[in-house]
Amino acid sequence: MNFWMRLKSDRIAVLCMILLFSVVLLGIFAPLIAPHDPLEPNIKFKFADNSLEYPLGTDQLGRCVLSRLLYGIKTTVVLSLLTMGATLFIGTFLGIVAGFSRGKVDEAIMRLCDVLLSFPSEVMILAIVGMLGPGLTNVVIANIAAKWAWYTRMIRSLVMEYTDKNYIRFAKVAGCSSSHIMRKHLLPGVLGDVIVLATLDTGWVILTISSLSFLGLGVQAPTPEWGMMLSEAKNIMTTHPAQMLPPGIAIMVVVAAFNFLGDSIRDALDPKGDQTKAVVK
């Protein structure tokens, strides 16, 4: 059984993938699906209850909560995926360079990582956003800047671990090219481990973007974003606590889906998983 078959036979993984895929689709087609303009205030209908016209009701300015939630996907989920992708790309590239060269280049990259890693990542993100000013692009930049060092380290140590394996030694001895070793042995091994971390971390990035918006440093006021919506709902928590539910649940479900998917990918990547399942069956 290969990786995809193993992943497909895992019900939780399939469920998570369907869920995340449809969330992304909903985000992309939000302008077509959303019943209302997410920015259009309608003070007459503020705090409206669930109805056919407003499936999730309206917020304190009378905007449709469902529409805001749908438009928020683009900012929250898509941006976090973008952040993760960029981090992973930088991390993999520098990690493999460092792990393979092992000389002065390695030293230089590692000491730079040490410097960056000596700040707590939350403080680092706040500092960078503070310097660059609040805004969506800056939040993404700050997240990448805070995370790449950690990934570079991780991938470098994985590369070094893999290059010490006998099968890579054998491939070198047998005269396989470096690109063959990279493609067949190193990348599948390293990426397999890293993708698990990445899916788990995507949840973390969503929370960071949301919490920065919550603090008022990320997305600016009218733009729909889940953390932002939560932040606005906080202000009227005592009078209308139900306002916090839609964005809160949306964040929770997506983060949980990413975490479960990460776990499933890890299981599916390990061919040894077959054995235990076979015994159970």
Partner 1 sequence: MLEVMDLYKSYHKGGFFSLKSRQEVLQGISFSVKAGECVGLIGESGSGKSTLSRLILGLEKTDKGEVKLEGDDIATWRKKYPGQMSAVFQDYNTSANPRFTIEEIIREPLFALQQKTELRAFILELMDKVGLSAKLLIRYPHELSGGQLQRVCLARAISTRPRIMVLDEALSSLDVYIQVQILELLRDLKRDLHLTYLFIAHDLQTITYLCDQILFLYQGRIVEQLAKGELSNAKNEYAKRLLASVITFGGQGQRVVYHKCKQIRQEVGV
Binding residues (CB under 8 A) for partner 1: these are 165-167, 169-177, 180, 184-185, 188-189, 192, 271-272, 274-275
Instruction: Provide, rounded to whole angstroms, the least separation between the CB of residue 274 and partner 1.
Output: 8
Cβ 222 to partner 1 shortest distance, Å = 49
Least separation, in Å, of the C-beta of 272 and partner 1? 5
Choice between 131 and 173, CB closer to partner 1: 173
Q: How far is the CB of 186 from partner 1 (least distance, A)?
A: 10
48 or 176: whose CB is closer to partner 1?
176
Residue 102 CB, nearest distance to partner 1 (Å)?
A: 11
CA distance 250 to 120: 27
Contact indicator for 68, 35 with CB cutoff of 8 Å: no
Q: Which is nearer to partner 1, 122 or 274 (CB)?
A: 274
Cross-strand pairs, 64: 58
Running DSSP on this structure, what letter comes out for residue 48?
A: P
Is residue 182 within 8 Å of residue 252, measured between CB atoms? no
Question: In the complex with partner 1, which residue's Cβ is closer, 11 or 104?
Answer: 104
Which residue has 């202000």 as its token pair? 235
Residue (172 or 277) nearer to partner 1, CB: 172
How far lies 206's CA from each of 118, 177, 212, in Å? 23, 40, 10
Q: How distant, in Å, are the alpha carbons of 74, 85, 195, 219, 221 from that of 125?
A: 21, 18, 23, 14, 20
Q: Residue 32 or residue 278: which is nearer to partner 1 going by CB? A: 278
Closest contact distance (angstroms) between CB of 226 and partner 1 is 38
SS3 assignment for 49-82:
CCCCCCCCCECCCCCEHHHHHHHHHHHHHHHHHH
